[in-house]
Amino acid sequence: MIKYAKVLVIGIALSFAPAISEAKQEHVIQGRTMGTTYTVKVVTGYFQSISGVKEKIGNRLEEINRSMSTYQKDSEISRFNRFNKVGLKFKISNDFFQVMKAGQKIYRLSGGAWDGTVNPLVDVWGFGSRGRRDKVPPNSEIAALLPDIGFANIDVVNPGFLVKKRAAVTVDLSSIAKGYGVDEVAALLRNLGYKDYLVEIGGEIFAAGHRKDDTRWRIGINRPRADAAFDEVYKVVEIHNQAFATSGDYRNFFEVDGIRYSHVIDPRSGYPISNGVAGVSIVADTCTFADGLATAIMVMGPESGLELINRLESVEGLIMVEGPGGSLVDYPSKGFISGN
């Protein structure tokens, strides 16, 4: 769950056409999970029931949270983080295993720009659970942590084990666990026979089928500026049977001697990014992958990030970079389509 110390996900605005279909109705289910909120919209025939669906969604999300919440001391991930035996297998659930496999893939694709073990660095920079620090840590403090940073320090072993290569290595999957939760709720709805729905957890989305008016789901990307309202729409993206995830670097930072230090930490260097990327939006087949990739691209920067997106199948994205005077420069992938 590493969103690099509670990265503030870019706000989304969901646009809905005013037309009302006589044959369909939209049901809205809302709640809280993973330290944030969720919204599920299900479009059905006018007399089709969604009785019991909210309870099923809540139960599924609670299972995932029990597995990967770093705030629950008895969760799987918390127990693994306390496990200090090098070379011994640690048995994990299928949920934890699937997210670790996805993380491993993103780690390798991004050259380590996404890294689920970065949290000790996030804490030392004052963006983690230990509270704000608002000062630059000594180089020696960062250097002391780097040997235990690296997803390659953990082996993900079939059929469901983790093996530590270094006793002190820990995992925080907050940058992909919400995406996984989205995917699992979408799968639940699909298995229940629903075809038209939108699942959103903390700004991460999967949209299937169509809205009540038979048009595609439309997602608004919040303008990635610190002074922008949370509902200010910068671009609009239409998605159909796809996931959408965002990551941003414009509300959570501190300044020392005129230098801005971002909450997004490059796990390879141990220091906050300084590549000018203000926000990244990714469209992909799964929200788990889109969620993690958006974070990775924040670290990689516009050029190498765009190159990665363009060579991935069924993936599109928009990288927004802060230009002179607070202007925004867009780096869209080859197939990214949006409107204002």
Q: What is the mean pLDDT of residues 65-82?
A: 97
| Average pLDDT score over the chain | 92
Task: Please say if the pLDDT value at position 177 is more than 80.
Answer: yes
Band (pLDDT 50/70/90 cuts) for residue 7 is: very low
User: For helices 177-191 and 287-300, what crossing angle results, to 10°?
Assistant: 160
Band (pLDDT 50/70/90 cuts) for residue 22 is: low
How many residues are recorded in the chain? Answer: 340
Three-state SS for 199? strand
Q: For domain 1-340, give the fold.
A: T-fold (3.10.520)
**317-336: per-residue pLDDT in tens?**
999 999 888 899 999 999 99
Contact 278, 320 (CB under 8 A): yes
Band (pLDDT 50/70/90 cuts) for residue 134 is: confident
Please state, in angstroms and rounded to a whole number, the distance separating the CA atoms of residues 83 and 303: 39
Exposed/middle/buried for 339, CB within 10 Å: 0-12, 13-18, 19+? exposed
Q: What is the mean pLDDT of residues 83-97?
A: 98
Q: Pick the closest to residue 75 from 1, 151, 185, 128 (CA basis).
A: 1
Record the tokens describing residue 193, joined without a space.
């026979």
- 73: amino acid identity, one letter: K
Band (pLDDT 50/70/90 cuts) for residue 1 is: very low
Please state, in angstroms and rounded to a whole number, the distance separating the CA atoms of residues 318 and 331: 6
The model's pTM: 0.92
Apex CA 25: angle with CA 209 and CA 47, to 5°?
110
